Structure 1
Amino acid sequence: MKNLSKKDLLFIGLMLFSLFFGAGNLIFPPFMGEAAGEKTWIVLLGFSVTAVGFPVLGVIAVAKSGGLTNLAKRVNPIFATIFTILIYLSIGPGLGIPRAGSLPFEMAVAPYLPESFSLKLALFIYTLIFFAIAYWLSMSPGKLVDRMGKILTPALLFLILIMLIGSFIKPLGGYGVAVNGYEVSSFFKGFIDGYLTMDTIAALNFGIVIALAIRSKGVSDDKAVVSLSIKAGLIAGVLLAIIYGMLAHLGATSGGRFGLMENGAQTLTNITMYIFGKPGAVLLASIFTLACLTTSVGLITSCSQYFSTFTSKISYENWVRILTVFSMLVANMGLTKILSISVPILNAIYPIAIMLIVLSMFDFVFKSNKYIYGLTILFTGVVSIIDAMGQAGLAKDSLLKIISYFPLYNEGLAWIVPAILGIVIGLAIKLFKEDFRAKRNIQEELSN
């Protein structure tokens, strides 16, 4: 077995960072900082739990369990199939990939086009080029470390560093006053904001990509692959935390100068234009495009690898073609339609993903017990789905009224107490059955 050098491990960690770091990761921290103002670092702490902590734990959970399907099977085989497909569809062609393709255009290209130029035509041309490059990179997953870890990720980090250095040379100002609920529920607002990065869900997909990258370097031992996946996850997590801190700081200082914008892209536009003038538009467009491209490649790769396991009739390469073309078509629907669908879906799925990861981290205690896993995911899922349907205007008032009595409902975390209750009840059933089985064994021994 070949050992992985520290240099190769670093590049794999950089690749994982680039897979995580898409447009959402770029726009949400500065927008959050802009609204949080003086509360920025408390909000960032909550944000880091769901945007850094759980994504890293997700990579570890998938690596240790041998894949998302194996992890989800601890709940139920039927659940494993449905949940895994839903995760790959939502983070992939149904939402994540198209969002990554359309967001850099609408946030960093469209505002600078001549008024006479057709936006629909411009979007089509942009996404055609964008997904052609993503297709080329995805067709050789074994080369992702070299192409992304050694080239694209350092380029992205360099561009972000330029923006940060510029902010010190030409300071924006002091932190503004916290608004929009950040002044009251600072930590919890940040916690929920972390959902929007989609990284905890993405982590359940990227585990297979990281394992493949490690094996492509000659590492064949399963335990070594798991250990190296954990280390790569920690490298990516540290980088994410540092970048989020930089971007949130920039947003907080811009809030004091420009006030609250409609979205994070406008916040970043104000920052770059103030510091660099018109060349700032080129810098911002480059950062957006690189961030979204690396994420799209990771999603196309992981989804293609998963779907190719269903049937031998459709190869990995053909799945790359199918997903790339489909994602490009969905991306041309426009960012507004895509985002209108994303928030309710994320609010429904994210708590389930979080609890699946939590259970995995404590599996040395729970021993993959079906009652603990089953009841926890059931209770969590019911509440999170009802809450998400309520936000989309699809749930009955009577159901919403019931879950409104749960602690942390107003903070968007009504699922936490039911999740804990599921663990407690499942653990009680596990202990009762073990005690009953032990007593029965003693009786049988005595009778013999």
Structure 2
Amino acid sequence: MDTLSVGFMTFAFFLGAGNMIFPPMAGFLAGENYFPAMVGFLCTAVGLPLLGLVAVAKAGGSIPVITKKLPAWVGVVIASSIFIIIGPAFAAPRAGLVAYEMGAVPFLTEPGATTQALYSVIFFGIAMLLALFPGNLVDSVGKVLTPALILLFAVLAVAAFVFPQDPIGQAQGAYTSGAFTKGFLEGYGTMDALASLVFGMLIVDLLRKKGITDSGRQARYLGIAALIAAAGLAFVYVPLFYLGATSSVLGASAETGGAILTTFVYQVFGNAGVVMLGAVVTLACLTTVIGLISACSDYFSELMPKVGYRGFVVVNALFCAVVANVGLSQLIQVSIPVLMAVYPVAMALVAFCFVRGLMQNERLGLILMVSVSGLFGLFDGIKAAGLSTDFVSALPLYEQGMAWMLPTLAATVIGCLIRRPQPQLAH
């Protein structure tokens, strides 16, 4: 099997809506502090997905495998929550919205609710058709769509450095004093750390269908794919961050990073550039949605075999098309508190895959890690929703939105120290 194609496919699955819209806005707001903000962003938007894929490789294939030490219902709730968030509830519809706003709206004379609804039906209809035949994903995505995507994006990346539009501006908001931490949290928005657990499962399943059933070979393929995807994402984020930082005037009235990106491309390349950008964004979002719909449908078809994989592909695609008509800014706002609450649990699962070899009592260790990360992640989610959490405001890193980190680290250490119960000797 072509290892490079698997790597390209993995990169294409990750390169979606959040990857295109968050870095330019973060760079714009970070201004003179864009470098530490970018490093923080790369930690969560590149480092965590890389660790997630490696964790899946170490665990042997999927979120259900990682969570099998938990009570069955807890594992199902965690896995279902992650799949719903990165599938029909947030990530996939957001990708369709970004594709519409950046790949279609610039060419429409009167964009509105009707055109958005029509575009959603066509976009998710195409994604549904391609997801219905998962055996062809490596060929269609890895060998055809991704090289075109990389070529188009390479042009955009060079332009960002060669044609900066404005001087780098002053840092704004939280970027003035905590640029690294703010960038770290912005990386949550890409949802790629959650997606890595899902895409890892999808890739292992595709490898099995290609006849690669040995777990060692699967882990090797997934490891190489992870490195290719991480390198590709960094190649995308660095120029987009710089583009945002050098758009201090151009981005002044922009509401999203997508608007900054579109305006920059128009300034540098004119209408031809806007066409190019529309192609890049549409391809990027389409490949991501195909991967998300496939992975979600695969998981839920195992829970409910009577509906089947293809039945869930249709259901997920229809649900995505409906949610995509909510509106981009509204969808992003709703997703932030949910992500702040769920991300810590996903990070605990990833950490468990790396430390489980040090645990004598894996079941108790994992229950402790998931319980602590879930509880403190819930506090962060409530805070992000604008509700009062003064009763936990004394927690370390509370103000930064990472109250979960130190308690989860402590739970991990304690989990490694818990000993397996000794059998009672008969007298």
Common fold: TM-score over 0.5: yes
Q: Does 1:106 align with 2:95?
A: no
Question: What is the CA–CA distance in structure 1 between the aligned matches of 2:249 and 2:360, rounded to whole Å?
Answer: 51
Partner AA of 1:47 in structure 2? F
Contact 2:358 2:416 in 1 (8 A): no
* Letter of the structure 1 residue corresponding to residue 37 of structure 2: V
* Pairing 1:45-444 to 2, within 5 Å after superposition: 45-66=39-60, 67-114=62-109, 117=110, 119-255=112-248, 258-259=251-252, 261-367=254-360, 369-393=362-386, 395=387, 397=388, 400-428=389-417, 430-431=418-419, 437=422
SS in 2 for 1:207: helix
Stretch deviating more after TM superposition (309-318 or 152-161): 309-318
CA drift of 1:118 comes to 5.5
State the shift of 1:387 in Å.
2.3
Distance in 1 between residues matched to 2:45 and 2:70, nearest whole Å: 24
> CA contact under 8 A between 1:61 and 1:360: conserved in structure 2?
yes
Alpha carbons of structure 1 residues 308 and 44: separation in structure 2 relative to 1, 3 Å:
same
Q: 2:9 matched to which residue of 1?
A: 15
Percent identity for Structure 1 against Structure 2: 37
The answer for unaligned runs of 5 or more in structure 2 is none
User: 1:372 deviation in Å?
Assistant: 2.0
Contact residue 36 and residue 43 of structure 1 kept, 8 A = yes
Highest CA radius of gyration, 1 or 2? 1
Aligned length: 426
| d(CA) in 2 for partners of 1:368, 1:192 | 32
Distance across 1 between alignment mates of 2:251 and 2:413 = 49
- Taking the aligned partners of 1:61 and 1:260, their CA distance within structure 2 comes to 41
1:85-114 Cα shifts (integer Å, max 9, x gaps):
111111111222211112221344335532
The 1:165–1:425 alpha-carbon spacing in structure 2 relative to 1, beyond 3 Å, is: closer
Instruction: State the 1:125 CA deviation.
Output: 1.6
Deviations 1:248-283 (A, max 9, x none): 122112236654732101110221011112222212
Question: What's the CA shift string for 1:132-188, capped at 9, x where partnerless?
Answer: 210121111111111111111111111111122334553424432222211211111
Determine the structure 2 residue equivalent to 1:24: 18
Gaps of 5+ in 1: none
Deviations, residues 37-81 of structure 1 (Å, cap 9, x unaligned): 222221111111111111111112123223101212234322101
Q: What is the TM-score normalised by the length of structure 1?
A: 0.89
Moved over 6 A (4+): none
TM-score normalised to structure 2 length: 0.94
CA distance in 1, matches of 2:70, 2:42: 27
Between the aligned partners of 1:18 and 1:332, the Cα distance in structure 2 is 24
Give the conservation status (yes or no) of the 8 Å contact 1:142–1:212.
no
* 1:35 paired to 2:24: no
**Does the 8 A contact of 1:58 with 1:200 survive in 2?**
yes
Secondary structure at 1:34's aligned position in 2? helix
